[in-house]
Amino acid sequence: MFSVKLVTLIAAALAAASAFPTNETLDVGASCTITSFGQVSSVLSSCTNIVISGLSVPAGKTLELTLKSGSTVTFQGKTVFGVAHWGGPLIQISGSKITVKGASGHVLDGQGAQYWDGKGDLGATKPKFLRIKATGGSVLSGLHILNCPRQCVSLNRCDHVTLDGFNIDVSAGDKNKLGHNTDGFDISSSHDVVISNSVVKNQDDCVAVNKAHYVTLSKLQCSGGHGLSLSVGMSKTSKEDNTVSDVHFSDCTVSNSDNGIHIKTHSDGGPGVINNVSYENIKLSGIANYGVNIEQDYEKGKPTGIPKANIPITGLSITGVSGSMTGKNSKAVFILCADGGCRNWSWDVKISGAHEGNNCTKQPSNVEC
């Protein structure tokens, strides 16, 4: 039995090797290692197993990694990005069936402290950090992202991609409240996305889903920011569909943050819908403003107090959400739905320590408030 299996394995390995005859000319050790910015394009054009080691990216340049299908990239040592006032991104990674990982001790350093002015997107122009456009079963894992100037990781036009074991640390931006709009993960125009086992320390949304379906977020530890968010209908080209559906958050912690869960729809955007979204087993602590905040009244990026049903919220399940509040403006639950805007919710929320009572408007009748 054993030898038959072994022979089969060897045959399979030989078949796999001969299916990729270029393999031997590619991946020739040191020549597939990028240590200076000038090597990026030639290495990308000839290698599929790439190491980026101790790279300094010049100010105002994107480290653009447009990878051949099936490529592997490993970040080693410190990758540092020069400082310039531009929009970024500092890195863009695109490709199908790609693997991107961080070697032990590596870091991607955005040098945020040199940009932070307490005003985020409204202050001096700052680069976004990492944009991912990956597809086809790509896996990005174990990346250590330090001090994003503003938004950290943006997934755009991704499908069938997994992000696992990210460590996003912008906690230095807490100092003098200088870091702003440092979102952990922003997800738009994407589907079949998994984000798991990751830590986000920042000053804005831990996760913000803008437009996506089939997204699974699990085992995230968020602190310092604005919580686990959906922000739907912001699309600048109005009339574009902004649906968020089939999104599942589970087994997350949110601590020392403004909100635990925040769902907002924009009445000046849409059309769209939020449907079949669930939050399950979310533990909160040290939440300053709202444990669970759901409102349908955003316009020009701000709440107006006048909700609209242009983006209905249906099939929302918030269960096993528990924990505690702090601070004198804290409310466990705030809901502001438009007439007919919110339907078919499941609800099991137990949050203690709020200083103010709940405030709910037009919530589904089973929602305890």
Ligand X SMILES: *[C@@H]1O[C@H](CO)[C@@H](O)[C@H](O)[C@H]1NC(C)=O
User: How far is it, in rounded angstroms, from Cα 347 to Cα 249?
Assistant: 14
281 binds ligand X (CB under 6 A): no
Taking the complex as a whole, the smallest distance from the CB of residue 290 to ligand X amounts, in Å, to 12
Taking the complex as a whole, the smallest distance from the CB of residue 264 to ligand X amounts, in Å, to 13
Identify which of residues 23 and 66 has a Cβ nearer to ligand X in the complex. Answer: 23
User: How far is it, in rounded angstroms, from Cα 265 to Cα 210?
Assistant: 10
User: Do 150 and 173 touch, CB atoms closer than 8 A?
Assistant: no
Sketch the per residue contact string, 95 through 114, with ligand X: x for CB under 6 A, - otherwise: --------------------
End-to-end CA distance of the chain: 64
User: How far is it, in rounded angstroms, from Cα 93 to Cα 154?
Assistant: 11
246 binds ligand X (CB under 6 A): yes
Taking the complex as a whole, the smallest distance from the CB of residue 271 to ligand X amounts, in Å, to 19
Of residues 132 through 151, those in contact with ligand X by CB under 6 A are none
Which window, 21-29, 63-71, 112-120, 320-328, contacts ligand X (CB under 6 A)?
A: 21-29
Which window, 75-83, 96-104, 115-123, 242-250, contacts ligand X (CB under 6 A)?
A: 242-250
Mapping DSSP onto H, E and C, the string for 49-62 reads EEEEECCEECCCCC
29 binds ligand X (CB under 6 A): no
User: How far is it, in rounded angstroms, from Cα 22 to Cα 69?
Assistant: 13
What lies within 8 Å, CB to CB, of 245 at 6+ separation is 213, 273, 274, 275, 276, 277
Both structure tokens of 278: 């669930």
* Catalytically active residues, by annotation: 204, 226
> Judged by CB under 6 A, which of 336, 338, 351, 367 binds ligand X?
336
Which window, 37-45, 151-159, 165-173, 240-248, contacts ligand X (CB under 6 A)?
A: 240-248
User: Do 182 and 160 touch, CB atoms closer than 8 A?
Assistant: no
> Judged by CB under 6 A, which of 248, 256, 364, 369 binds ligand X?
248
Categorise residue 33: left if φ over 0, alpha if ψ from -120 to 50, beta otherwise. beta
Which window, 22-30, 83-91, 178-186, 321-329, contacts ligand X (CB under 6 A)?
A: 22-30
Residues binding ligand X: number (CB under 6 A) = 16
Taking the complex as a whole, the smallest distance from the CB of residue 126 to ligand X amounts, in Å, to 32
Taking the complex as a whole, the smallest distance from the CB of residue 359 to ligand X amounts, in Å, to 4
> Judged by CB under 6 A, which of 286, 315, 353, 364 binds ligand X?
315
329 binds ligand X (CB under 6 A): no
Question: How far does Cα 265 stand from its chain's mean position?
Answer: 19
187 binds ligand X (CB under 6 A): no
User: Do 137 and 160 touch, CB atoms closer than 8 A?
Assistant: yes
> Judged by CB under 6 A, which of 22, 23, 326, 352 binds ligand X?
23
17 binds ligand X (CB under 6 A): yes
- Identify the CA nearest to 137 among candidates 159, 121, 156: 159
Which helix (H) or strand (E) segment holds residue 217: the answer is strand 207-223
27 binds ligand X (CB under 6 A): yes
User: How far is it, in rounded angstroms, from Cα 48 to Cα 268?
Assistant: 45
Both structure tokens of 359: 């405030």
> Judged by CB under 6 A, which of 46, 49, 141, 319 binds ligand X?
49
Q: What residue is closest to ligand X based on CB? A: 315
CA geometry: angle 87, 93, 96, nearest 5 deg: 145
Sketch the per residue contact string, 192 through 231, with ligand X: x for CB under 6 A, - otherwise: ----------------------x-----------------
Q: What is the sign of the dihedral through the CA atoms of 277, 298, 186 and 45?
A: positive
344 binds ligand X (CB under 6 A): yes
As to burial, measured by CB atoms within 10 angstroms (0-12 exposed, 13-18 middle, 19+ buried), residue 49 is middle
Identify which of residues 39 and 276 has a Cβ nearer to ligand X in the complex. Answer: 276
Binding residues vs ligand X (CB under 6 A): 17, 23-24, 27, 49, 214, 246-248, 276, 305, 315, 336, 344, 359, 361
